[in-house]
A and B are shown apart, each in its own frame.
Chain A
């Protein structure tokens, strides 16, 4: 069971502090997502972890530094850049080169190419590959040594929906076999379906780390949605109970500061008939935007001021002492579906590390 421990990772680019005393752990057995706004320092952090970028701090994989590993690809598989291949070296030769440095047999090269769906183009040059095919080849590189740890930077970029679905199921099954998966993505909906735990950073600092559900709960506030043909007496009762109740244009009333049972009791006591009484949780996207609002490095100014969300929204959930402030802020959202994170409950990882063949790629037209 390999665990990643990153301690005090720090990286400066001149006067700019790209990664600031970042510490976190990535546990085996679950998929850990790495989230942060553009320019937050995700890619730099991953490069620091593997020693590709020089900085301060240490990262250990199963207790060892990456550079101490004799055959590193047998321990840690990494994809940090899409299409980082020589354009005229065939996909198979690229993998053979990596295999040669890590004592990996040739048969394994063909195996992983088959697995990621690139067997048919294994002798083609990557310059003819689409971005999605490049991502698949990158994943083949990472899987080559059958490592206990995967570190993937935006692996879903360029993949078609079937490819993303396959990647998600693969990573979940890989983690379920007791291995460690650390994956960054800017696709929050995808991360909500894929990740069990999160490491969230903004401006190079840790904002939060822990399970997805805890993150959403800690950063946002659960609200109760009520529909009634008698809104006035209900609003009076809620306000008398010092609860925040906001009527919505569609006729619903959104109540914060109390759970579903409490709101139901107040309605019953006031003699109000209810047509709907439901709890609404925030989505991961809403929680992410709430947590990282002020931690964006690059903010587009679209017709007005930038929304003043707060980076200091960490609520003590996984936030290190001295980290971002611990004052929870109410969710600023209104409406929206049930928490996307909740839908993860319906996805149980297959038991095997290699549950099934990866989908045959459908990008043969680019050969």
Chain B
């Protein structure tokens, strides 16, 4: 197993795309943090707003930059293998497919985790410098938002990995990864406001990316503690939202892994 992890580690760090995707995600997230810090430079920044800055506004964006780019790194993990035929080299070097899958999951999760942590540090630095004060990092809701954000980014990486394995087609996986949170979920949310769909309106909270975004929430008390009524019914807590997004990612990974074992390479 450790050999498979070594292989995957060298694989991910010898690709240029890993670095430019990572760099771009961190840069754009830091730009958001800087803009918010600059706008609030004359105010005292609360722990709740610090959470927004530290996560690069993750809870407000349908496509949080760091998470999206880690999702694409995840897609490339399997997608490039099939696109360029390197899956043959991979499986002749590591014939046990289960080892290949586990190694890819571990390395993508670890890379996403480190990138998310570095991103938080970068956002804190940029936000503090621009706002002219040291932002709360672990105090109050900021700490919980940061933890949720890191888990969220890791899950996006694994989500991309599952999509890449399932579709074996990089462009299709990237399009799906962008279209669903940008178009499909907002559309469902809008349609759910129709009277005819009132009975299932609450289910909007449990759509994958809606639930995922709530993991790094720091401003809305309803999304943090749950129980509060919103236009979509009772809001689940951060923990429930996190578990919901985790379940969606698992639901994608399980068939993706099963098909990877079953399909010819």
* Contacts from A to B (Cβ < 8 Å): 47, 50-54, 66-67, 69, 71-73, 76, 78, 80-81, 83-90, 93-94, 96-98, 100-103, 141
Contacts and interface: CB of A to CB of B under 8 A. Distances in A.
Most buried by B among A76, A90, A98: A98
Nearest to B262: A54
Nearest to A142: B92
7 nearest A-B residue pairs (beta carbon):
A101-B7, A84-B85, A93-B14, A67-B95, A100-B6, A101-B93, A97-B10
Contact of A72 (B9, B95, B265): B95
A100 B3 contact: yes
A129 to B, nearest CB: 13
A66 B89 contact: no
Nearest to A141: B89
Interface of B: 3-4, 6-7, 9-11, 14-17, 80, 84-86, 88-89, 91-96, 262-265
Given A97-B10, A101-B4, A69 B88 contact: no
B23 to A, nearest CB: 16
Nearest to B95: A67
B88 A102 contact: no
B86 A86 contact: yes
Nearest to A69: B95
B89 A98 contact: yes
Contact of B11 (A53, A81, A97, A141): A97
Given A54-B264, A97-B7, 5 more contacts: A52-B92, A72-B94, A88-B16, A100-B6, A101-B3
A69 B92 CA distance: 10
A100 B8 CA distance: 9
Nearest to B9: A100
A73 B4 CA distance: 13
A94 B7 CA distance: 10
A88 B76 CA distance: 13
B139 to A, nearest CB: 42
B91 A51 contact: yes
B86 A84 contact: yes
Given A47-B264, A96-B10, A71 B84 contact: no
Given A72-B95, A88-B15, A81 B85 contact: yes
A86 B79 CA distance: 11
B264 A52 contact: yes
